[in-house]
Amino acid sequence: MRYYEHHSVKASWSFRIALLCVLAAAGTFVWHRFFGLSTPLALKMFYGTVILTVIALTLATAALVEIWNEGSLGAGKASFAIFLSLGLLAVPAVSLPSLMRLPRLYEVATDPANPPAFDRIAKIRQGAQANPVHYDATFGPLQAAAYPDIKPLLVGRPLTDAYTAARETVKALNWKVIDEQSPEAAKTGYIEAADRTWLFGFTDDIVIRITGAGKAARIDIRSSSRFGQHDLGRNAKRVRVFLAEVKERLAGIERAERMERQMASREAAAAKADPKRRQNTRRREDGED
């Protein structure tokens, strides 16, 4: 008499589905990051893999219970399916704290009452299933409560210095410049740029406005996620990094000017003292003679 060991169907299917989800998620990531898959479609594909992953995890758990009770085969496949499922679900789970703690915003601006406006980027966003280009007035109070430090940068420097510092910061942060206009006299300067997240390659749009007159300038920045309704605090972080870098560059300009003034003052003092040194030397020489 032959005895046939029963293989758990649930374990087999949980393994197949989990493996398929991992391959699909990886393919979606590579396609979106490097080969131009649109963000809305990529998000839909990823959400689909998350749903299937939950199904695989449920099947694997049920399979282990069945194997324990009935002595079926397939514990290895079910365990590996659980491992793959939990690994894939860890990707969205990392965002849960920010999703629950931070307000549902997709952009921030240093001047919510009169935010810098998109121009060239507005044309790029048209017809791309992207977020609206106008600033939602309801975001202002939410931003003020969550990010009270996001404010305009007031600079005690000429307009051109403020623009130069902002432009160099954009370059240092590797943002892609879409359009720009340098300030002339009291004319407003602006920079439109785009930035992609390092891992998933999501695109965020930025516009910087530089205004002022004389030796006073003001820098405003608006950072907006092109897709998605919750930025998980990414735009606020970007604005903070930008403003801190601009401050550092402006402080560098002031330090350089201070050193130049000190050097000029020392040279002037040396030049003024030099004739006296020559006169004293001549007197000593005459006295020796």
Question: Quick one: pLDDT at residue 3?
Answer: 46
The more confident residue out of 215 and 195 is 195
Which residue type does 155 have? V
Distance from C-alpha of 102 to C-alpha of 98, rounded to nearest angstrom: 5
pLDDT of 2 above 50? no
Closest CA relative to residue 150, chosen from 159, 140, 138, 137:
140
Name 177's bridge partners. Answer: 193
215: Cβ–Cβ under 8 A, 6 or more apart, which residues? Answer: 156, 157, 158
Q: What is the mean pLDDT of residues 77-101?
A: 93
Banded pLDDT at 277 (limits 50, 70, 90)? low
Residue type, 119: D
Q: Cα 44–49–51 angle (5° rounding)?
A: 95
State the Rg of the chain over Cα. Answer: 31
Average pLDDT on 47-76 reads 93
d(CA 206, CA 116): 9
- Give the pLDDT score at 282: 58
Tell me: pLDDT of 269 over 80: no
CA distance from start to end of the chain:
134
Q: Is the pLDDT of residue 151 over 70?
A: yes
Q: Is pLDDT at 1 greater than 50 in this prediction?
A: no
Using DSSP, state whether 257 is helix, strand or coil.
Answer: helix
Alpha-carbon distance 143 to 83, whole Å? 39
Q: How far apart are CA 207 and CA 224, in angstroms?
A: 9
pLDDT in tens, 12-26: 999 999 999 999 999
> Rounded to the nearest 5 degrees, what angle is found at the Cα of 235, between the Cα atoms of 231 and 237?
115
Contacts of residue 135, defined as CB under 8 A and 6 or more positions apart, other chains included, come to 107, 109, 112, 115, 222
Structure tokens belonging to residue 248: 């550092």
The CA distance from 92 to 110, in Å, is 29
- pLDDT category at 172 given cuts 50, 70, 90 is very high
pLDDT tens-digit profile of 69-84?
888 889 999 999 999 9
Q: Is the pLDDT score of 128 beyond 80?
A: no
Mean pLDDT score, 199-217:
91
**Three-state secondary structure call for residue 13:** helix
